[in-house]
Amino acid sequence: MEAASSSPSHCRYSYEEYKQTADWLLANTEQRPKVAIICGSGLGSLAELLDDKNAFSYEDIPHFPISTVQGHVGRLVFGKLQGRECVCMQGRFHFYEGYDIHTVTYPVRVFFLLGVETLIVTNAAGGLNGAYNVGDIMLIKDHINMPGFAGQNPLCGHNDERFGVRFLCMSDAYDRDLRALARRTAEEQGCGSFLQEGVYCMVAGPTYETIAECRVLQKLGADAVGMSTVPEVVVARHCGLRVLGLSLITNKVVTDYDSNEKANHKEVLKTTERRTQDLQRLISQLITKI
C-alpha cells in the first residue's frame, strides 16, 4: 500500500484512497449503514448477531490494514441488527501492532464516506476507579489522550476540509444524548447495576501499566485505561459523527506494591466472554433507538 506522501505535512492517505475503499465496499454490498460499531478485544461476536450478513476480510478490502491481535477476527461485517442496517469491525488496529496513527484510524473516514452518522466504539479496559468491579460496563463520558500529549494525534499534518475543520472542539466528544439513551436502555435490560460512567485514558501499549503509572493516571482523573479507541473517536468527531463509547472493565489495575496480582490478556478475554451477552443485548436495543 503506497503512502500519499512521506512528508510530515501531509496525511498518510489521500482523500482518493479513502474514497476508493468506500466505493469498493458500496459496489460490493447493498447495505447502506448509518451506524458503525468497532468491536474491541473479545467483543467481535457482536457482529454474529447481524442478519443478512455480508462480510469482507480486511485483506480483501483495498487499502485496508490487517489486525494481528488475538481476539480480533479481522473482518468488516455489514448487516441488520434488530432491523437496522449497520457495519461492524471485528478487530481494530493499534499503535502496538506497529501501525502509525493514520492507519489506526483509516476505517473511520471510510465509514464517513459510506454515509455512517453514528459510531459506537467498544473496548476492554483496566479499572482504575476503586469503585469499579470486574465485569462492569463503563459509558465513556470523556477521555485522556496520552499519545496525543506526545504529538500522536491523527489530525496532525495537512487538514482536508472535506473531512472536517482544522481545529476541532473535543469537549463534546462523547454524545450526551446517546449516553442518556444508553443509561435508560441499560436499566430496561437489567444492566443498570453494573453500568458505570467515567473517563477513559488511552496509553500506547503493548505493556500493561506500572504501579506508578496507574497511580499517576488515577490522579489525572482516569477511571479506566486501555490501548485503543481515542484515535478513532478523534477522527469520528472530525468527520461530524456522533460517538458512543463503552468500556468493559476486564481487570482491576494493580496499585499496591505488595500485591501479587498481574494483568494479562487471557484474563481480559475470559472476562469479556462472561459479559459479552449483556453488552450485545445493550447495543442491540440501543441500535433500535438511535
Query: Is 47 among the residues known to form the active site?
Result: no
CATH label of the domain that carries residue 282: 3.40.50.1580
Q: Is 2 contained in some domain?
A: no
Catalytic choice (36, 58, 72, 143): 72
Q: Is 55 contained in some domain?
A: yes
DSSP 256: -
What is the full DSSP assignment across 76-111? Answer: EEEEEETTEEEEEEES---GGGT--HHHHTHHHHHH
* Over residues 141-150, mean pLDDT: 96
For residues 154 and 100, the answer to whether their CB atoms sit within 8 Å is no
Catalytic choice (41, 123, 129, 247): 41
More confident residue, 264 or 287: 287
Query: Is 251 among the residues known to form the active site?
Result: yes
Strand locations in 107-241 (E): 118-127, 137-145, 195-202, 224-226
Catalytic choice (97, 197, 267, 273): 97
Block residue for cell numbers 500522536:
152
Query: Is 174 among the residues known to form the active site?
Result: no
Catalytic choice (173, 228, 238, 247): 228
For the chain, the farthest-separated pair of C-alpha atoms sits apart, in whole angstroms, at 58
Closest CA to 168 of 102, 113, 239, 116: 239
| pLDDT score, position 53 | 92
Query: Is 123 among the residues known to form the active site?
Result: no
How do residues 169-212 score in pLDDT, each as one tens digit?
A: 999 999 999 999 999 999 998 888 899 999 999 999 899 999 99
| pLDDT score, position 273 | 73
Structural domain harbouring 241: 15-289
| pLDDT score, position 103 | 93
Under the banding of pLDDT at 50, 70 and 90, the label for residue 7 is very low
Q: Is 22 contained in some domain?
A: yes
Catalytic choice (36, 47, 89, 124): 124
Query: Is 7 among the residues known to form the active site?
Result: no
Query: Is 72 among the residues known to form the active site?
Result: yes
Query: Is 13 among the residues known to form the active site?
Result: no
Query: Is 54 among the residues known to form the active site?
Result: no
Query: Is 260 among the residues known to form the active site?
Result: no
How do residues 202-212 score in pLDDT, each as one tens digit?
A: 999 899 999 99
More confident residue, 226 or 49: 226
For residues 267 and 134, the answer to whether their CB atoms sit within 8 Å is no
| Res 8 pLDDT > 50 | no
| Res 55 pLDDT > 60 | yes
Closest CA to 102 of 261, 249, 271, 234: 234
Catalytic choice (159, 265, 267, 273): 265
Q: Is 252 contained in some domain?
A: yes
C-alpha cell at 12: 498518510
Query: Is 267 among the residues known to form the active site?
Result: no
* Over residues 120-127, mean pLDDT: 94
Q: Is 20 contained in some domain?
A: yes
Q: Is 1 contained in some domain?
A: no
Mean per-residue pLDDT of the chain: 89
- Please report, for residues 47, 71, 145, 174, 216, the alpha-carbon distance to residue 153 in angstroms, rounded to integers and kept in the order given: 29, 26, 9, 18, 22
Rounded to whole angstroms, how far apart are CA atoms 127 and 222? 9
Rounded to whole angstroms, how far apart are CA atoms 283 and 257? 38
C-alpha cell at 73: 477476527
Q: How many domains does the chain have?
A: 1
Block residue for cell numbers 502496538:
96
Q: Is 4 contained in some domain?
A: no
Catalytic choice (5, 54, 96, 99): 96
Strand locations in 128-272 (E): 137-145, 195-202, 224-226, 242-252
| pLDDT score, position 45 | 79
Catalytic choice (47, 94, 174, 224): 94
| pLDDT score, position 274 | 73
Q: Is 279 contained in some domain?
A: yes
